[in-house]
């Protein structure tokens, strides 16, 4: 590689790192604002001020408040759960992946709770959430083909909720569950449901 290409590559990598650092700073700032209870009454300018960047820089990343909020969930997944396998490949993997996810969320509770509360309050359903919903549905219909179609959809929805960040937040903030308690409770609930679904599938096959 000649010197010109080396400089271009270095410059490109530097810009990408700077862009990622700015994005992280923005997300951290909006998280702290939401944690203060300001879900509905903050602006893009408020986030820029909190992050210590210009409105122009902020606008290049997120031109609207809605775009900012929709990106919050994906960023949280990426940063909070990057070391954890949270998408099961089989029905039997669901309890274990859910437990790992919930324990990982405990390391960053402010971020996780702020994200969940924002999505709920603003009625935002990111594409990544819909994709996970579909993944759970495909697992159940694929492994339990004899279940009634409507019942399989209902079962997938319940299992998906039990494995979600929303359910984790309810257990921790409403009921005061700690890691051992919610891990045990969720594992028991999911294993019980999966066992029942397998039995129903056998009966109907």
Q: In CATH, what is the architecture of 1-63? A: Orthogonal Bundle (1.10)
CA dist 157 and 132 (Å) reads 11
Q: Residue 61's closest CA among 73, 50, 79, 47?
A: 47
Q: What is the pLDDT of residues 115-152, one digit of tens each?
A: 788 778 777 777 778 888 999 999 999 999 999 999 99
| pLDDT(10) > 50 | no
**Which whole number is the average pLDDT over 16-45?**
83
Q: What mean pLDDT do residues 88-103 have? A: 90
Q: Do the beta carbons of residue 15 and residue 7 sit within 8 Å?
A: no
**pLDDT score of 73:** 72
Average predicted confidence (pLDDT) for the chain: 84
Q: Scan for tokens 């019942």, then name that residue.
A: 151
Domain boundaries, the chain: 1-63, 66-205
Where do the H-state alpha helices sit in 36-148? 44-51, 55-61, 65-80, 94-105, 109-122, 127-143
What is the share, in percent, of the chain residues with pLDDT greater than 90?
Answer: 39
| CA separation for the pair 6, 53 (Å, rounded) | 30
Q: How far is CA 159 from the centre of its chain?
A: 16
- Residue 124 CB burial class (10 angstroms; 0-12, 13-18, ≥19): middle
CATH of 66-205, one of 1.10.357, 1.10.10, 3.30.70, 2.60.40: 1.10.357
Give, as one character, the DSSP assignment of residue 159. H
11 pLDDT exceeds 80? no
Q: What is the pTM of this model?
A: 0.73
Residue range 167-171: mean pLDDT, rounded: 91
Dihedral sign for Cα 10, 76, 104, 31, please.
positive
């Amino acid at each position: 590689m000649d010197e010109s290409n080396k400089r271009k590559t270095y410059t490109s990598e530097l810009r990408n790192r700077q862009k990622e650092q700015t994005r992280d700073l923005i997300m951290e700032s909006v998280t702290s604002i939401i944690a203060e209870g300001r879900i509905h009454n903050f602006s893009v300018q408020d986030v820029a001020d909190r992050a210590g960047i210009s409105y122009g820089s902020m606008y290049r990343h997120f031109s609207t408040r809605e775009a900012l909020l929709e990106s919050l969930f994906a960023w949280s997944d990426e940063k909070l759960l990057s070391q954890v396998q949270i998408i099961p490949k089989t029905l039997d993997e669901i309890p274990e992946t859910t437990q790992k996810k919930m324990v990982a969320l405990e390391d960053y509770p402010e971020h996780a709770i702020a994200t969940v509360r924002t999505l709920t309050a603003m009625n935002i359903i990111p594409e990544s959430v819909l994709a996970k919903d579909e993944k759970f549905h495909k697992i159940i219909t694929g492994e339990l083909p004899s279940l009634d179609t409507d019942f399989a959809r209902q079962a997938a929805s319940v299992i998906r909720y039990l494995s979600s960040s929303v359910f984790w937040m309810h257990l921790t903030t409403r009921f005061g569950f700690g890691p051992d308690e919610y891990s045990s409770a969720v594992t028991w609930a999911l294993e019980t449901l999966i066992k029942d679904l397998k039995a129903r599938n056998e009966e109907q096959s």
